[in-house]
């Protein structure tokens, strides 16, 4: 398996979306998945912290607010490694298009924002497969919080309450997510993430993503003849 900074040789295609909660990345990936399925493409969808092996342990620990930043990081790394081995790599070998709602970049942003050493986190995920396309949805934390709060209050770890940045979850959210956003901004150049304005319309963003995906697939000799 190639290192994270090396292009993979699998016949399949790996696409991931990144961004803080409220950026609209998940909505875009679901739309992309449904479109690809509608035109007969083989698609696998995978989400952050969804491994059957470890996700329940992580959820229980989060519920009890008993995770240190380093422990939080390691649990997510185990979850990622299991999904990579059991879901992502096999699907790529079989020629599927793999759509990942968050990838290793999430750890690079969140864990470092929690004070974990950036080099250490990157070394932990050095086994990861490099995506063929990584899209980052850029949004100001205040705009993201407004979207989230239309339906619910910020969650404990989402707001960085474990870091004791503020007793006010809303203020804590803005401080913590600002840190996360700054780490994502660094990765645009470091890893070549494609930055999109999360405030653009849903339709505009979807059209852009489909065009980029078509270009990636064409470079692999795969043609999508269906209109965008």
The pLDDT assigned to 228 comes to 63
**Cross-strand partners of 101:** 17, 47
The tens digit of pLDDT for each residue in 111-122 reads 999 999 999 999
- pLDDT score for 2: 47
Say what the pLDDT of residue 221 is. 85
User: Mean pLDDT, to the nearest integer, of 176-198?
Assistant: 96
Write out pLDDT tens, residues 103-147.
Answer: 999 999 999 999 999 999 999 999 999 999 999 999 999 999 999
Confidence band (pLDDT; 50, 70, 90) for 169?
A: very high
Query: Does residue 15 surpass a pLDDT of 60?
Result: yes
Residue at 83 is within a domain? yes
Claim: this prediction has a pTM higher than 0.85: yes
Handedness of CA 30, 35, 38, 39 (dihedral sign): negative
For residue 203, the model assigns a pLDDT of 97
* pLDDT grade for 225, boundaries at 50, 70 and 90: confident
Distance CA 163, CA 138 (A): 24
Q: Please state, in angstroms and rounded to a whole number, the distance separating the CA atoms of residues 99 and 134.
A: 10
Average pLDDT for the chain: 92
In the numeric block, which tokens belong to residue 199? 């405030």
Q: Is residue 58 part of a domain?
A: yes
- Band the pLDDT of 64: cuts 50, 70, 90: low
Answer whether residue 129 is part of any domain.
yes
* Per-residue confidence (pLDDT) for residue 227, from 0 to 100: 62
User: Is pLDDT of 60 > 80?
Assistant: no
Is 4 within the bounds of a domain?
A: no
Closest CA to 97 of 208, 210, 207, 4: 210
Residue 123 resides in a domain: yes
Instruction: Measure the CA–CA gap between 81 and 53, rounded to whole angstroms.
Output: 10
For residue 228, is it within any domain?
no
Task: Give the helix ranges, DSSP H, for the chain.
Answer: 25-38, 55-63, 69-83, 89-93, 104-113, 118-124, 141-149, 169-190, 202-219
Asked if the structure places residue 140 within a domain, the reply is yes
Count of domains forming the chain: 1
Residue 148 belongs to domain with CATH number? 3.40.50.300
Domain span at residue 93 reads 13-211
- Which one is predicted more confidently, 204 or 71? 204
**In this structure, is residue 216 part of a structural domain?**
no
**28-49: average pLDDT:** 94
């Amino acid at each position: 398996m190639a290192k994270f900074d090396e292009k993979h040789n699998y016949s399949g295609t790996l696409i991931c979306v990144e961004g803080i909660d409220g950026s609209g990345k998940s909505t875009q990936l679901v739309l992309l998945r449904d479109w690809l399925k509608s035109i007969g493409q083989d698609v696998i969808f995978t989400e952050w912290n969804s491994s059957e092996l470890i996700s329940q342990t992580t959820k229980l620990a989060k519920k009890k607010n008993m995770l240190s930043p380093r422990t939080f990081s390691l649990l997510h790394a185990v979850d990622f490694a299991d999904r990579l081995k059991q879901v992502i790599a096999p699907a790529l070998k079989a020629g599927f298009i793999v759509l990942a709602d968050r990838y290793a970049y999430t750890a690079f942003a969140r864990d470092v924002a929690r004070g974990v050493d950036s080099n250490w986190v990157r070394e932990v995920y050095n086994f990861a497969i490099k995506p063929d396309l990584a899209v980052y949805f850029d949004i100001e934390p205040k705009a993201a919080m407004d979207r989230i709060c239309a339906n619910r209050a910020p969650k404990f770890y989402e707001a960085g309450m474990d870091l004791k940045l503020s007793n006010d979850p809303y203020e804590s959210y803005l401080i913590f997510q600002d840190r996360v956003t700054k780490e994502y901004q660094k990765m645009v150049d470091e890893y070549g993430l494609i930055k999109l304005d999360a405030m653009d319309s849903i339709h505009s963003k979807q059209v852009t993503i489909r065009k980029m995906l078509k270009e990636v697939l064409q470079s692999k000799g795969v043609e999508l003849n269906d209109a965008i």
